[in-house]
Each structure stands twice: as C-alpha cells, then as structure tokens.
Structure 1
C-alpha cells in the first residue's frame, strides 16, 4: 500500500516541521506526511481520511488557523479527522470560539513523552491505534497500552490506581473479590494500606462511571465487590 493511500497516515502541518516533533513521531512508530496547504492535504488525503492531524500554530497562528478552516471544508473525510493543535502559552486566547475546529491542543515547549501521549490519545479515539490491547465489557472500553478508558464513548479521567482496579474487575466479570484479595492483586503484596483504600477507590470509580453505570461495580455484603450485575451480564 502506498503512503498516499494508507488509512493510518498522520498529516503534519507546520511552516517547518520541528526536529523534536519529527523525532517524537518517528520514535513512536507513526507514519506521517508533512503538508503545507489545505490543497496539498486534500491531494494526499487517503480515501478513508487522515488518521489524524497535528497542526503547529506557533510560528504563524493566523495562517495555521486559516489552514485548519480550509481543511475542514475540503472534504467529508476531513470533517471527521481528529486534530491536535500545538500552540505557545501566549496563544491560549486563540482557542476561544474555535472549539469546532480542533479536538485537542498542546502547549509548547512540551516533553516528548507528553506529546507522544497526546498523539496516541488522538489516534485512539479514531480507532487507528492497534486494537489488540483493548479490554471491552459492554459499554466499557479500556486501552491497556495508553491507560485510557471510556464508558459509552465518554472518556473517563482516572488515576493510575483507579484504572488498575477497574481493569482488574472488568477482566474478571461475575467473580467476587474480597477487599484483601483486591489489595493484593491490584495494589500488590508489598502494599500495607487498609481495606478502606479499596472502598475509597470503588466509590470514586462509581462516581466517574456516572449514575447509569455505577452499578457495574456491585457490593457483595460482608464479602467484597463484583463487576457486573445481572442487567450487565
């Protein structure tokens, strides 16, 4: 398959692609192509649309936003392409009233690890990231590789341990675990915190899942917790 027709191709718009950005994308294993105009982006756009787009607006924000507007109008595929804008701290105000033009933004300078994480998140939402590391249970989806989670398409903002607890429970639906077992299996045998730690994290998880899905984590009286009630199984 040629680069021009590959559905996993990432477009990068910049006056000059910064070496740090190019290095981050290359080390992350992303296939990308630099484009200088909306016409060039449309010309090289794969039939399925770009997997995502990174726009560096730090050098010339006026031209960059004009490019984004033109790109969004260039084709039906372009309208659904998720877009990450790179800006400086002084350009924060440029984001106002432009929510429909971009999906995420990143302030430069940025650590390469954070930039790579932003790109992974961008592509994860499009389905362009590999699907082998997904844990799925009904409306719940967890990406093991990127530590991202969503419920019914809504991203969940979880701490590391909240994510680990939810992952463990969702990988073992229907099984009842005592608080002590959960402490050992999720926190590790070297962890000496009390059982209340589990209760606190379960409460936070339920709050973040929302009222409709909080009951996915069921309390088994005098025993512990189980993932999945009858209505979810």
Structure 2
C-alpha cells in the first residue's frame, strides 16, 4: 500500500482522482497553498491538483522542487489543461482526472521506481541532450522550448533509438492506453516537435506506412536520410 498525499486547493471537495479511491492505497488531502507546503505530513507520493488553478499548481510544483522534496510529484490535470503544462515545472509525471485505476496505479509505481533509482537521468544522442530531472532538453547546447507532451515524446523516442514505433504504440506509451484522442494527435505533436528542432528535424524519422523513430547520427550535425 502506498501513502498518497493529495495537495489540493479544495481539500473538502470531491476526490482529486476519483479512480484512486478504488485502489488499496491510503489517500490523505492537504491544502495546496504555499504556507502549508513548507511542512508536509508523511507520504510516499504527492499529487498536485491542477484541475482548477494551473497557476497555483505550477507554483506548488516549483516550490516542492526548490525544497528538494524526496517524494515524486504527480500533477493531476484535465485534458484541456495539458496545453498549459510545461516540462520545467518539476513534476515526475502527469495524470489526467479521468484516468482509470490501472493507469493511476502504474504511474504511481513507475514514479516510485524512478525516484528510488537515484541515478543521474540524462540522455544524449544525435546532438540532443535530455535531463529527466529538470524536464529540459537541448539541441547542440541550445535549450528547446517544449511542452510537456513534446518533451515526453522526444524522451521516449530518444531512449529507444532507431526503433520504429507505430502511432498506436506511441499513443499508448506516451499518452496512456485509455487516452481518447486519435492517432492524429501523434502526427500533430511530431510536426510541432520537428518545427522546434529546425534544421535537425530529421532526427525524428518517418518510416512510411509504419510510424516514427529517433535517428542516430555519429557526427555532431544530423544529415539527410
């Protein structure tokens, strides 16, 4: 059983994650305001409620990161709020409010596993440098201004270099198996990611009629396929 502390601006309202109540974890609520974040009760995982106040959630995540909180932080938001979420907030993962019990349990378990590894989390390939701890990415030393999902997509592909993934696989592994959007979502995010990579867009390769892959290059600058 995992002890979950839900940080929410409305501790007396409905559950932050309704499906979490169906799991055998212990859930306790706690105010989200900064004054109450300086001294938190014992917990294994922290949930930050971003459903109604993204600004407060962003501030809370950054405060927890600054305080070097040991527990992994999961950000809970609506699907509409995803567009405003940025990778530099300092959370371990994002969970949508409509997530089912299996997905929530998996995200909690994976967040705890990553937190327990205690290993430097860097990925470096084809001129891309990814820092998992700060949720930041650079191209040849230039910071990339990525949304959270763009960061997740780049990170997933970069950690499986040269492997081809179908749109369905990426939708399942990056967005979650119960995401209701279609595979066009993957194409849109790949297009936006390539635009931010600029001249290095070929790092994200297309395999016709199959899907996408992260291309490896030996030299400093990518070359055409």
Instruction: Place the TM-score, normalised by the shorter chain, in its bin.
Output: 0.3 to 0.5
Normalised TM-score (structure 1): 0.45
The structure carrying a bigger helix percent of its residues is 1
Higher relative contact order, chain-length normalized (CA < 8 Å, sep 6+):
2
Give 1 or 2 for the bigger CA radius of gyration: 1
Normalised TM-score (structure 2): 0.46
